[in-house]
Amino acid sequence: MAKSLPNLAQRVITWQRQYGRHDLPWQNTQDPYRIWLSEIMLQQTQVATVIGYFNRFVDRFPDVDSLSNASLEDVLLCWAGLGYYARARHLHACAQQVVALWAGHFPTTAEALQTLPGIGPSTAAAIAAFCFGERTPILDGNVKRVYCRFFGVKGDPTSRVVVQQLWQRAKESTPIEALTVEQPDAMARFTQGLMDLGATCCTRRQPSCERCPLASDCVAKLSGRTNELPQPRTQRVMPERSTIMLLISRQIPDLAHGETCTNKMSADKVIADTSDNVNVLASKANTDVARHNQAVLLYKRPAKGIWGGLWTLPECRLAGDFNITTHQLTTTQLPLTAVKRHALKQKNTHTHTKLITNTSAIESSSKLIVEQWCTKHAIKNPTLLSMAAFRHTFTHFHLHIQPWLVEINDEVGFDPQTADETMQWVRVDQLHRFGMPAPVQNLLLNFTML
């Protein structure tokens, strides 16, 4: 048990003033909009990645009114590449509720903030502490790690019992009222200090205890268990799924529907605000003469579910009933023995995407499927080219993706655009106007460079 709990808050506050982070784009403000946005973006995403997205987002949507008035499609376009897209959908819904139910002003207590979409207890507490000085505890992933080590909390830190213990510790550690009266910025400093400690000092591996203001009382440090706490999560065996993505391209001159695509987004403003990856896509598309006169077929996913509301590529599956306008994530049971063997050797990375180097098994299996699909959809004599297979990891499963380039040479009889608007032919130089997940952005980037 740690000894000097009453001093914990003051030590964190003093340390934050001297050694904490002070120049992040969402700091030095009490604007709930900017702080809320940063807290949502920082969930499951590193600070270094968030900074660029945050700056582009606030340029595009400077306040809650502009965000609430935007289309979800514009919001997703600004979010494209950041992942965990439910966050963007909740962000949009939250902005609309703040305008509709709170007259455009964020509520000022953690309790009321939690009633808004996408705002959980720790995020609500962080906003309330930073913006309104409320004495309320936070418990994000980094802070859990600090408390587990400092208090020597054993057990699975994701289990309900341990989380309850940690919330109790967090409440006990919150600055007392007298401290916040004496130091009006105490809650903001303390909250930021805990975040900074977790991110820069009490890191997952090899914590820098020698720089930590809590080291003299830290149970993990004193008992030599910094490598054992928090208890490592039990490794889950992630299900493996697979799919074939079709990058269907055709020449532009007789593009029947493509011109409508260029009007879908709020054009130039959006172009300037898209992610780094999409900006690269834009510049490649605009400079690559070979692909400049081509269009590709994009598929808009349903609003909810994997990559909800984003534009991706049509997919096909093993069975013969594929409907090009399907609203399902079409995963298959392809014989992926070789792919699995190689994919399992890969280590996780920040992008959650792995290139699969030995693709012969999936290539030969999937070519037949793609040929059958083309026949079924009246695509005559297409040029087929397999692209590099890769694995993308979602929260709950790995998805093996075998992309195929399908170049349409004779399009008589092929019309993928049905009554709904989930399919669009898009000129290569307009692709950057569509919000896409990172793996699809990368595929299209490769395509424009072929």
Q: Annotated active-site positions, please?
A: 39
What is the dihedral sign for C-alpha 188, 193, 194, 196? positive
The encoded tokens of residue 173 equal 């550690």
Residues numbered 213 to 252 that lie near ligand SF4 (CB under 6 A) are: 214-215, 218, 220-221, 226
Using alpha carbons only, give the angle 162, 163, 164 rounded to the nearest 5 degrees. Answer: 90
Q: Where does residue 381 fall: left (phi above 0), alpha (psi -120 to 50 degrees), or beta otherwise?
A: left
Point out which span in 69-77, 85-93, 145-153, 162-170 binds ligand SF4 (CB under 6 A). 145-153
Nearer to ligand SF4, 52 or 155 (CB): 155
Enter the DSSP assignment of 356: -
* Closest distance to ligand SF4 from the beta carbon of 228 (Å): 11
Does position 5 interact with ligand SF4 (CB under 6 A)? The reply is no
Rounded to whole angstroms, the Cα distance separating 246 from 438 reads 16
Point out which span in 15-23, 64-72, 143-151, 367-375 binds ligand SF4 (CB under 6 A). 143-151
Does position 56 interact with ligand SF4 (CB under 6 A)? The reply is no
Nearer to ligand SF4, 12 or 78 (CB): 12
Nearer to ligand SF4, 34 or 144 (CB): 144
Beta strands in 173-329 (DSSP E): 240-251, 294-300, 311-312, 315-316
Q: How far apart are the first and last CA of the chain?
A: 61
Q: What are the b/e assignments for 303-333, b being 16+ CB within 10 Å? A: eeebbebbbbbbbbbbeeebebebeebbbbe
Residues 94/11, Cβ–Cβ less than 8 Å: no
Does position 278 interact with ligand SF4 (CB under 6 A)? The reply is no
- Beta strand 383-386 with 398-407 is antiparallel
Q: What are phi and psi of 120, to 5 degrees?
A: -90, 180
Query: Looking at 150, 307, 434, 447, which residue binds ligand SF4 (CB under 6 A)?
Result: 150
Point out which span in 39-47, 57-65, 212-220, 238-246 binds ligand SF4 (CB under 6 A). 212-220
Nearer to ligand SF4, 206 or 348 (CB): 206
Does position 146 interact with ligand SF4 (CB under 6 A)? The reply is yes
* Closest distance to ligand SF4 from the beta carbon of 385 (Å): 52
Does position 387 interact with ligand SF4 (CB under 6 A)? The reply is no
Applying CB under 6 A, which residues contact ligand SF4? Answer: 146, 149-150, 201-202, 207, 209, 212, 214-215, 218, 220-221, 226
